Amino acid sequence: MSARPTLRQQLFRRKPLHSFESDATDGGLRRTVGPFQLTMIGIGATIGTGIFFLLSAAVPEAGPAVIVSLAIAAAAAALTALCYAELASAVPVSGSSYSYAYATLGEFPAWAVGWCLLLEYAVSGAAIAVSWGQYLNDLTERLFAFRMPEALSAPPGAGGVVNLPGVVLVALCCLLLVRGAKESALINTVMVLVKLGVLALFVVVGATGFDSGNLQPFAPLGLAGISTAAATVFFAFIGLDAVSTAGDEVRDPRRTLPLAIVGALVVVTTAYVLVAVVGVGAQPWTAFEGQEAGLSAILADITGSGRPAVLLSAGAVLSIVSVTLVVLYGQSRILYTMGRDGMLPAAFHRVGRRSGTPVFATLLTGAFVAVLAAVFPLDLLTDLTSMGTLAAFTVVSLGVLILRRTAPGLERRFRVPGHPVIPVLSILACGWLMYELPLGTYVLFGGWLALSLAVYLLYSRKNSQLEADAPTLEPASCRNGKSRSSGGGVCRRIDVESEGRP
């Protein structure tokens, strides 16, 4: 009589490291992305996610001390980026922290992280789409004295009925992604270069209006305000995770992934700090609250002319497209990987013959993000994204500690310096930023995780590829954790609980 693995063994079985490498060469996705394009993906998913509109939400929480909040969030992101770089060089596959958790923590933790990533990418994509409508309205008003009616350009709760521009943006990005990863990466690179040029314009022109008096009082809401704003602006660093979702489509991933992660972090942090310093120095901190298309408005006030503001709004409209593009790309690749592992239906793993892209996963991602963008207000979306991001970042840092212990001889092109101090500091920093999020975010996040547990128990654990491959225990005929092979009377050793140990 055969005995099935216990529920505990199923929950924490780990995917063998050699399986990740064989999956990456299964002929599904195509390796067409190089180091520069991958770095642009990281920058594209990050710059624009926050800096074009997040100052309007964060400055009222901390005042000019938002600069400190940004530095704190950047430090936490840097700690985690180093951990991402090591895991990406050791497990160079698609799926990001979902795959890393599968190799180190087990199946259900990986599943929960996957759900956190879906929340992170879907909600951030929706938040970006909401902000795109703001800059689009600002641009059309400056050029043509026309604004789309509020009912069609803002979600419920923000004065509108439906955010139509956000829906259109998501649809266009989905069409591009379905066409192919190489084409998408090329267009993203062009848009990122435009984005960096626009931010450079803001820094140069905005610096002419810098007034140190606007930095007083520096921290009007005290340490509590700085902490709250740090948790809010951490939302602006989620793009670093997007780099590691491209593992199956990158050439020489063990080298390229860590280089792109660290390179994107350096560029993004530099740009954020410069823009924040110039922004809070150019106008009183009280003027940021409720300010739409804030960077454009600052330039218009400084120059007294609409031309620089028009250029910035046009650049923002174009560059925010790149953020949406990469966010949808990242989520569709995570769904693809989960489908390959049997955690989701096989349709998510299917790849189009001509495009070499996961068409079903991309279209479903787009539909979900479009609905969120159409009906949810921006502030709720940003806090939920921060929660999902911080949970995933914590798991990555923990994964470095575990994999160093369980697979010390594994090839790593990059190693976290100061191990184990850096991963531990990363975990503590993420935990602190989570603590600063409002209670309502915890309630919604808890509901999301409860839903993930229900789906896992009802579908994923039964259809997991590890479940299909797992041998059946035969305690009646074998001892000490051995199982009789299907071919006859030879017992072979298995250990379901430690499945995935190298």
pTM over 0.75: yes
Per-residue three-class SS string for 112-126: HHHHHHHHHHHHHHH
Question: What tokens does 298 get?
Answer: 């600052």
* Residue written as token pair 């690179």: 189
Nearest residue to 236 (alpha-carbon basis) of 286, 201, 273, 263? 273
Task: Report the distance separating Cα 104 and Cα 396, nearest Å.
Answer: 9
According to DSSP, residue 483 is labeled E
According to DSSP, residue 4 is labeled P
Task: Report the distance separating Cα 388 and Cα 68, nearest Å.
Answer: 23
Nearest residue to 343 (alpha-carbon basis) of 83, 26, 13? 13
The answer to whether 433 and 393 have CB atoms below 8 angstroms apart is no
- For the chain of 502 residues, list the mean pLDDT of each consecutive stretch of 10: 67 82 65 84 75 76 90 86 88 83 89 85 76 76 79 66 82 86 81 86 88 90 88 74 80 85 89 89 86 73 75 76 84 89 90 82 88 69 74 89 88 88 92 83 88 92 82 42 39 37 38
Q: What are phi and psi of 115, to 5 degrees?
A: -70, -35
The CA-based dihedral angle spanning residues 33, 34, 35, 36, taken in that order and rounded to the nearest 10 degrees: -90
pLDDT at 454: 93
Per-residue three-class SS string for 373-430: HHHCCHHHHHHHHHHHHHHHHHHHHHHHHHHHHHCCCCCCCCCCCCCCHHHHHHHHHH
Task: Report the distance separating Cα 230 and Cα 85, nearest Å.
Answer: 23
pLDDT at 220: 92
pLDDT at 292: 64
Task: Report the distance separating Cα 424 and Cα 36, nearest Å.
Answer: 30
Instruction: Give Cβ neighbours of residue 156 (< 8 Å, ≥ 6 apart).
Output: 162, 375, 377
Burial class from Cβ neighbours inside 10 Å (0-12, 13-18, 19+) for residue 366 reads buried
pLDDT at 435: 84
Instruction: Write the single-letter amino acid at 431.
Output: G
